[in-house]
Amino acid sequence: MNRKIITTMGAAAAASLVLAGCGGGDSPSEAEEPEGPVTISLAGWDFASTPEFETLATAYEDQNPDVTVELKEYPAGEEYDTALTADLAAGTAPDVFIVKNLKNYVTFQEGGTLLDISDVAAELDPATGGLEPMAVDGATYAVPYRQDSWLLYYNKELFDQAGVDHPDGSWTWDDYADAAAELTEGIGEKDVTGAYLHGWQSTVQGFALAQTPGASLDGGDFSFLAPYYERQLAMQDEGSQPTYATVTTNELAYQSQFGTQKAAMTVMGSWYIGTLVAEQASGDADEFEWGLAPAPQFDESTTGTDNTPVTFGDPTTMGINAGIDEAKIATAKDFLTFAAGPDGAAALAEIGITPALIDETVADTVFGLEGVPQDDLSRFAYTTHETLPENPVGPNTSAIQTILGDLHSAVMSESESVDDAIADAQERVANEVG
């Protein structure tokens, strides 16, 4: 079908608009099932390279021929929230929109722009990844349709070249660091390192928060970050991964570092599976045999295929605009139930995207795609994990993460010691947040 797509340009001038007063957040009176054709609109971004929106819309329309899902394209990146916020304030936002950044979820909810969809959440499989943390004071305002989790990607050929045993699911972070050093020495090529750590703060802090017993983002104590940073600094100092300065100054990309075999392994989200397969098929990445393993663990209590490894990842969620025409509410809720349920999950898996609900059908589909590794550990890593959020739902998450972003840059650039940077962050949170 020729789908109607509306394009929205970035609205920098709208950045000063606030969400408060944009709409009510409570459910209207029980919506009746619509009679006759219905059109609902869905927000998304970068449709040319992000096919999930078209995929979900088409799959839902195939099951519901009286419904048309109209797509509205927003800018990608941080501009998405700015442009969407402007449309919400102006009353022109789509009926259904993506809460792209979990740290902004409470902002949208408290601003009254999201409809209470607790009834939709109650219908979903409890195994849906990221569903439970979406509850705010007993109500749910957005549901996950994607749930990427961070995994270990490794180049089997470079491991063999270096004479290093492949990951087996039993690795702690110390094992990972040891392997990176052995790989770097064993490969013996100047421009190839055992590991690659991307520059994002999540590559260190996401794991530390998820895996460290008792760690909390809003507890005011960030000492749990110390061993994770000390390990990464030691790895870059010994040359088993590029330095943070090299990564940021040269704007290195994880896709090129791993995809062109400049690093034997990297930790990255499950979204990279589809990207790597596509880039190997197109020639943008080298042809080599690779595999997946669970992310390295805090200690041995969660290692091995008899245990459930702990990792992190924020869900990508959908909510309903509180200003929606009441006649469309039932259809919008049904679309969310579809997108976050098994049918939506199956549709996403067919294009290599990790849905929030991973069942055997999804796993079979993903591992049936050409180019996806077929070994048992890769399937275990993809299907078995406890994934905790990088950005726990809370009113102070965004402010705290901004401060911790400064900590990350200071530590990884070695402009401040780990202990001093942590102390500074704790003081700033105490003085600036809440």
* pLDDT tens-place string over residues 397-425: 999 999 999 999 999 999 999 999 999 99
- The half-sphere exposure of 330 on its side-chain side, counting CA atoms within 13 A, is 13
pLDDT at 345: 97
Helix 173-187, helix 226-238: angle, nearest 10: 10
Beta strands in 192-331 (DSSP E): 265-269, 290-293, 310-312, 315-320
Inter-residue contact 314 to 393 (CB < 8 Å): no
pLDDT of residue 3: 63
Phi-psi region of 321 (alpha: psi -120 to 50; beta: other; left: phi over 0): beta
Check residue 25 and give its pLDDT: 46
pLDDT number for residue 289: 98
Look at residue 29 in the predicted model and tell me its pLDDT: 40
Residues 45-82: pLDDT tens digits? 989 888 999 999 999 999 999 999 999 999 988 899 99
**Residues in the chain, pLDDT under 50:** 10-30
In angstroms, what CA-CA distances link 3 with 61, 145, 165, 321?
A: 11, 22, 50, 21
Domains of the chain: 37-148+313-358 (3.40.190.10), 150-311+389-432 (3.40.190.10)
Tokens of 403: 């401060």
For residues 318 and 339, is the Cβ–Cβ distance under 8 A?
yes
Would you state the structure tokens that stand for residue 429, as one six-digit string? 């949170």
Residue 103: what pLDDT?
Answer: 86
Distances (CA, A) of 431 to 103, 216, 348: 20, 18, 44
Q: Hey, what amino acid is at 388?
A: L
What is the pLDDT at residue 13?
A: 37
